[in-house]
Amino acid sequence: MTTNYLKLQFYSLPRNQAFARDAVAAFCLELNPTLADLSDVKTAVSEAVTNCTVHAYKGNLGIVTIECEIEDNSLHIKVSDTGRGIADVTKAIQPFYTSAPSDERSGMGFTIMQTFMDEFNVNSIQGEGTVVYMTKCFKAEVENA
């Protein structure tokens, strides 16, 4: 059962990246995450939001939507845009694949999301947008007697 919910919408401005990852990190504090888990979530959100700015809207202004749900000890995150979409998702999520090699891009964004989160999925329709789903499972709190 979902016990808490957050929806954030903001312009795809680079300066909103820090705000977005910090907001999601603050939201999941009620799950008592370890610093390592919190850092994983921040990094994964940063990657997803950066993709919206850099790839989905290619520097044009668009709306990024982040939805978060807390269910038991898990945080579900959905990051969506209505940008240009990804032609070949299988190729895009390969480590080191980048559509913009000249811009010093590492091509590791999706790999980091996949590695740092427990569940990861991407749906994209060309010309309509992309949705990234990620889940982080936090260890249940141990009660001290």
Residue positions annotated with a catalytic role? 47, 51, 105
Q: Give the Cβ contact number of residue 145 at 10 Å.
A: 3
Find out whether 75 and 26 touch, Cβ atoms under 8 Å. Answer: no
Residue 38 Cβ vs other proteins, minimum distance, rounded to whole Å: 9
Verify binding: residue 103, other proteins, rule CB under 8 A: yes
Alpha carbon distance 60, 80 (integer Å) = 16
List the structure tokens of 143.
């009660």
Q: Give the Cβ contact number of residue 30 at 10 Å.
A: 11
Q: Which is nearer to other proteins, 73 or 98 (CB)?
A: 98
List the structure tokens of 135.
């889940």
Verify binding: residue 17, other proteins, rule CB under 8 A: yes
Alpha carbon distance 88, 68 (integer Å) = 26
Residue 117 Cβ vs other proteins, minimum distance, rounded to whole Å: 13
Verify binding: residue 65, other proteins, rule CB under 8 A: no
Verify binding: residue 104, other proteins, rule CB under 8 A: yes
- Residues forming the site for other proteins (CB under 8 A): 14-15, 17-18, 21, 35-36, 39-40, 42-43, 46-47, 50, 53-54, 103-106, 108-109, 111-112, 115-116
